[in-house]
A and B are shown apart, each in its own frame.
Chain A
Amino acid sequence: MATIECQAEWDIAAASTLHQQLLSALQTGEPLEIDGQAVRKIHAAVLQLFLSLTNEAQSLGLPVRWRNPSPALVESARLLGLADPLGLGEADSV
């Protein structure tokens, strides 16, 4: 399993690095796990990357799972209307 750990503050400047990281995670062909515990602030560009990752993983039949998404992460995803497509939809009950 490939794990991606979220940082506390992820702004647009981080998008480029994360893009590369996600691409390599995808290439492992292993199930993906994103640890969202630390997130305090996350930029739309970063969520957009995760969405593309999720879509692609699904088409490859790779499961993507969130671990401990922080309230800030869920709130940001929800504000963008992306909570469900990102698989963070049920997270609000956690």
Chain B
Amino acid sequence: MAIDIGQFVQTFFDESLEGLDIMEAGLLALPPGAADLEKINTIFRAAHSIKGGSGTFGFSEVTNFTHAMETLLDKMREGRLVVTSEAVNTLLESVDCLREMLVSLREQAAIDETQAENLRARLLRLLEQKETATSQATKAEKPSAPSPPPPSPETTDWRIEFLPHAQLMHSGNDPVRIFRELSTLGKLAVRADYHRLPRLADMNPEDCYLSWELELRGDASREAVAEVFAWVEDECDLRIEPLAGPAAPETQASTPSAAPETQASSEETHQGELVLERRKSNDRRKGDRRASAAADSGSIRVNIDKVDAVINLVGELVTTQSMLSALGTDFEMNRLDKLHEALDQLDRNTRDLQEHVMRIRMLPVSSVFSRFARIVHDVGGKLGKQVELIINGEQTEIDKTVIEKIGDPLVHLVRNSLDHGLEPPEERIQQGKPETGNIMLDAYHKSGSIFIEVGDDGRGLDRDALLRKGLENGLLKPGEDYSDEQIYELIFHPGLSTAKQISDVSGRGVGMDVVRRNIQDVGGNIQIASERGRGTKITICLPLTLAILDGQLVTIGQDCYIIPLLSIIESVQARNEMVNRVAGKNEVLRFRGEHLPILRLYELFGAQGAQTDLEKGLLVVVEADGRQVGLFVDDLLGQQQISIKSLEKNFRRVPGVAGATILGDGRVGLILDISGLIRINHAI
């Protein structure tokens, strides 16, 4: 059996990135000056796991870097170092740096070592400063003490019995790494017991047959020693006891132990310092890295309850199936009612199952929301604004794919609110508002969709400025009356920013159009409401899932196609006199004072036996990207929920087709890509 380390590496990345989120949340909640032991412990543990994991997989850059963070946190935990805002900020920057390192490693890209080294130096400087401060204070307290210091009641020397289970090394754990880490805590003496080691031929090369007895002399606390083994605590028997007293010697009568004790001092462990290869540091925005950190992992963690629910439903489905089989074996007409009943049950089971399976892909929106605490902290600080972030409904669940797509747009909206929405404190006071501004994030389900709101209680949109800009750019016509909504719409227009100053936070006029496009890409839409002086609220409406859509079935010739219900405006029956030809080729329908391009789908798809007379078929008016087109089809069938299958994966990409589905009668139905069709129509 050969162990594939790769399978654990992905888990390491997933867990480490989660750990970083925990660290970040903990750091943000850590008030300067206060020693909240529990919070510091949580942060420390996360850092420690990352260090342990990175050591196992040989990411020494990460190990070295995390080690510095961990030491700082350890000192904070022990109360030997005061939590200052400088320390918190440096640690927060370190979290970012670590996140970048992990993402780079995962993508097998170059690590920005300059940045890591700078930060590491800053962490060490923080440590040194405080250390000298502490040691000077100690000196002052105890002037010229020639006698050895009295033994501390808590920390002594430790005797550690480490008996790994056979499978300890299967998950990549390496006692070499563990002992190396232990040796950084003091003087380590190791005695290996290898009496269980079998003959070479009888060995499973990945099992662990050795056990150890270690003695650690130094000033390490029991917790510090236990932390070293935290990574393997479930895969070994471990006993840590103080060495000070006469430790009961274990009887090892006939065990061949390594005779002399071998020692490894802490200095030795630093001999493998990295030779840093300076690489050009690439300027990458942290937000991007974070987004990709969250997005690219191809796995999700699913609550066991959700899995159990699916298993239960499958159980019910099996029951229904056996009921139907029993009915089918010797069916008589008088049992028709029973059959109907069973079929109803099957229908119910299937729907429930589908719903629950979909739920597995759903993640709480908190995974996106959680990053905003940091953004508000950083950007608010940078802009000198006092901001409170109010989050509601973070447990609302959304499809994983949707979550991945909305992260960046939401960041943009929050930054906008921070930068342009909220006024500086003095301006707020002038206007009789509380000094601290609010940013509100809310998520909720409503009528089969998810709504996410980003709001602020800032200055609101400047209607007049927008109107002026709109007129200048020719987007609005002078002399016409426009509603607020129409004017606010302008902020989604590319290149239009009313920000007086361009800051590095926002205001370059690229963005809101991209935000809208991203939201539309996942089948959502975005609305804006604003009141001058009171604030702005942006509401994003998203579909529950991307795996199922509500579709309108239409026929073209012998085939059945599906049009996403969301894109359909209406269906009309054309009369020949309403149809004009533009440039002798393209047909348009004069309809409600507009000219609607007609796209004959049977021509596009080469359908046989389709209706070619416009008067005898139907035009389905659809809209995408703000443009409309009339799709000519033979007839409308019913509407139903369609489970989307990838056509690309099973066949190949077809222009104008978004995917496929299996219809009730077993045929394949193609799902039309409305944006694509409109582009095709434009190109003709």
User: Is B611 part of the binding interface, using a Cβ–Cβ cutoff of 8 Å?
Assistant: no
Chain B: CB-nearest residue to A59: B199
Mark contacts of A19-58 with chain B using CB atoms, 8 A cut-off: 1 yes-contact digit, 0 otherwise.
1001100100000000000000111110111011101100
CA A56 to CA B194, docked complex, whole Å: 13
**What's the tally of chain A residues with a CB closer than 8 Å to chain B?**
38
Q: Given that A16-B205, A82-B258 are contacting pairs, would A42 and B200 also be in contact in the complex, using a CB cutoff of 8 Å?
A: no
Pair A52/B198 contact, Cβ less than 8 Å: yes
- Contact yes or no, A43 B264, CB < 8 A: no
Return the contact of B272 from the options A44, A72, A83 (Cβ within 8 A).
A72
Find out whether the CB atom of B3 lies under 8 angstroms from the CB atom of A12.
yes
Query: Which residue of B is nearest A82, CB measured?
Result: B192
A38 to chain B, nearest CB (A): 15
Contact B5 A49 (CB under 8 A): no
Interface string of B180-198 (1 = CB under 8 A from A): 1001000010111010011
Contacts of A1 in B (CB 8 A): none
Interface class of chain A by DSSP: helix
Q: Interface readout for A54-94 with B: 1 if CB under 8 Å, 0 if not?
A: 01100000000000000110011011111111000100000
A84 touches which of B198, B209, B259 (Cβ 8 Å): B259
* A26 closest partner in B (C-beta): B200
Select one of B191, B268, B272 contacting A81, CB under 8 A. Answer: B191
Whether B172 is near chain A, meaning CB under 8 Å from some CB there, is yes
Tell me whether A16 and B1 are in contact in the complex, defined as CB-CB below 8 angstroms, given that A80-B175, A83-B262 are known contacts: yes
Identify the interface centre among B170, B197, B209, B268: most chain A CB within 10 Å of its CB.
B197
Q: Do A12 and B175 touch across chains, with their CB atoms under 8 A apart? A: no
- Residue A5 lies at the interface, judged by CB distance under 8 Å to chain B: no
Q: Output the residue of A16, A79, A89 with the most chain B CB within 10 A.
A: A79
CA distance A9 to B174 in the complex (A): 13
Instruction: Point out the residues of chain A lying under 8 angstroms from B174, CB to CB.
Output: 11-12, 43-45
Note all chain B residues with C-beta closer than 8 A to A47: 176
- From B180, B190, B203, B209, name the one whose CB has the most chain A CB atoms within 10 angstroms: B203
Q: Is B328 part of the contact surface with A, judged by Cβ < 8 Å? A: no
How many angstroms from the CA of A89 to the CA of B259 in the assembled complex? 11
Complexed CA–CA distance, A79 and B263 (Å): 7
B58 touches A81 (CB 8 A): no
Contact A12:B172 (CB < 8 A) given known A48-B209, A71-B271: yes
Q: Which residues of B contact A55 (CB under 8 A)?
A: 197
Report 26 cross-chain contacts, Cβ distance below 8 Å, ordered by A residue: A11-B58, A11-B172, A11-B174, A12-B5, A13-B4, A15-B3, A19-B200, A19-B205, A23-B200, A42-B176, A44-B175, A44-B176, A45-B174, A45-B208, A48-B194, A48-B197, A49-B203, A49-B205, A52-B203, A75-B271, A78-B262, A80-B192, A81-B212, A81-B258, A85-B194, A85-B256
Interface residues of B (CB under 8 A from A): 1-5, 58, 169-170, 172, 174-176, 179-180, 183, 188, 190-192, 194, 197-201, 203, 205-206, 208-210, 212, 256, 258-264, 268, 271-272
Please give me the 8 A-B residue pairs with the lowest Cβ-Cβ distance, nearest first.
A81-B190, A81-B192, A19-B205, A15-B205, A16-B2, A79-B179, A44-B175, A52-B200
